[in-house]
Amino acid sequence: MEGRIALVTGAAGGIGEAVVRALAAHGARVVAVDRNAERLREIAKSVGEDGGRAEAFVADVTSSADVEALVEDVETTVGPIDYLVNGAGVLRMGEARKLTDEEWAVTFAVNTSGVFFTSRAVVNRMVPRRRGAIVTIASNAAGTARTEMSAYAASKAAATMFTKCLGLEVAKHGIRANLVAPGSTDTPMLSSMWQDESSARASIEGVPDAYRVGIPLGRLARPEDVAEAVVFLLSDKAAHITMHDLTVDGGAALGV
């Protein structure tokens, strides 16, 4: 990965930051994208102090125009993008029948349309070069029903199938598109779901009333666990892998 350029959205989040750091540690030049400018600058500075290269770019993935301008700016000022990681995501909890229009719309704007806008802008530039690799960070909830997570699960399912269809279409151009599907991961997004100190234990042990079986490996994932899966799928070690959905959930979805 030495010297290759990787664009990572959602870079200020728990998994996104871990992906930025992992890619930089493998020698990539990372374009860290998020709406949180202050946190992006902190991450880029920290990566630089550790000997890596990361640059902060502020953008809103829910805006097609913003994304197109971002990708053009990166290609002009940094260089041709070799890797794309769609990491931006939001979570809105609630029973399906009680979700508001705004909660549904925001969830799909970030988790689904953001993947579409960013992938389209980047892939249209990869195609003439006949190279590139994409990883969309989805969720094990895309294939496993979860109570009070209908919007999130549906948006991730849509992003999952979009990425697979994209991968099928661009394979002839030498471009790969894969997915990483985390389960419960120790990030601020997960802790936002917790009611009290017992919630972390419940994530691991399971919640029968919510039809959750728990995590067979007996621990929450670390953001770094997810990041290393992303790095593998982007790397040349995965050169013959495309349209694959790699689940990183400690067995929580029972391998389904």
Give catalytic residues, as residue numbers.
152
DSSP 72-130: HHHHHHT----EEEE-------B-GGG--HHHHHHHHIIIIIHHHHHHHHHHHHHHHHT
Phi, psi dihedrals of residue 219, rounded to the nearest 5°? -155, 160
Name the DSSP letter for residue 139: -
H or E, element range at 25? helix 14-25
16 SS3 class = helix
Closest CA to 253 of 222, 229, 224, 217: 217
CA distance 144 to 13: 23
> Within 13 A of 138's CA, how many CA atoms are on the CB side?
30
Written as six digits, the tokens of 147 are: 């109570």
